[in-house]
């Protein structure tokens, strides 16, 4: 997921929230909390956010677990090859 996708989800949520509050300003009458939540949910649904309320954390802040494990395995393979090369060098030096 790119950085634009992450901020795009948050921006869509904030735009839905702005639309819900702008409806209140147009009508001029105060709304209850339930009415505001309902308006935010409707605006979020129309802008492509499937859930009511905040977007899921995983879409805003994706995990870096995959990249860390990939570097760990690369380092493990590198250490293995260095160990094998070191043992071959040491064996040739002590036998020759």
Confidence (pLDDT) at 93: 93
Average pLDDT value for residue range 35-53: 68
Mean pLDDT calculated for residue range 48-72: 74
The residue with greater pLDDT, 22 or 29, is: 22
Ramachandran category for residue 28: left, alpha or beta (phi over 0 → left; psi -120 to 50 → alpha): left
**Ranges of each domain in the chain:** 1-62, 65-96
What is the structure's pLDDT at 27? 66
Per the CB < 8 A criterion, the answer to whether 40 and 22 are in contact is no
- The pair of structure tokens assigned to 3 is 């950085």
Q: Which residue carries 């805003």 as its tokens? A: 60
Only one residue has tokens 């760990």, namely 72
Angle at the Cα of 16 (from 10 to 19), degrees rounded to 5? 140
> Terminus-to-terminus CA distance in the chain, angstroms?
55
pLDDT band, residue 79 (cuts 50/70/90):
very high
Average pLDDT over residues 74-89: 97
């Amino acid at each position: 997921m790119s950085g634009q996708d992450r901020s795009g989800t948050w921006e869509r949520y904030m735009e839905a929230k702005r639309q819900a509050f702008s409806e209140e300003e147009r009508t001029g009458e105060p709304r209850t909390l339930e009415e505001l939540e309902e308006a935010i949910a409707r605006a979020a649904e129309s802008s492509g956010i499937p859930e009511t309320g905040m977007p899921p954390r995983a879409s805003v802040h994706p995990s870096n677990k995959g990249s860390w494990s990939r570097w760990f395995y690369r380092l493990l393979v590198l250490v293995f090859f260095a160990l094998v090369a070191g043992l071959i060098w040491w064996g040739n030096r002590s036998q020759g």
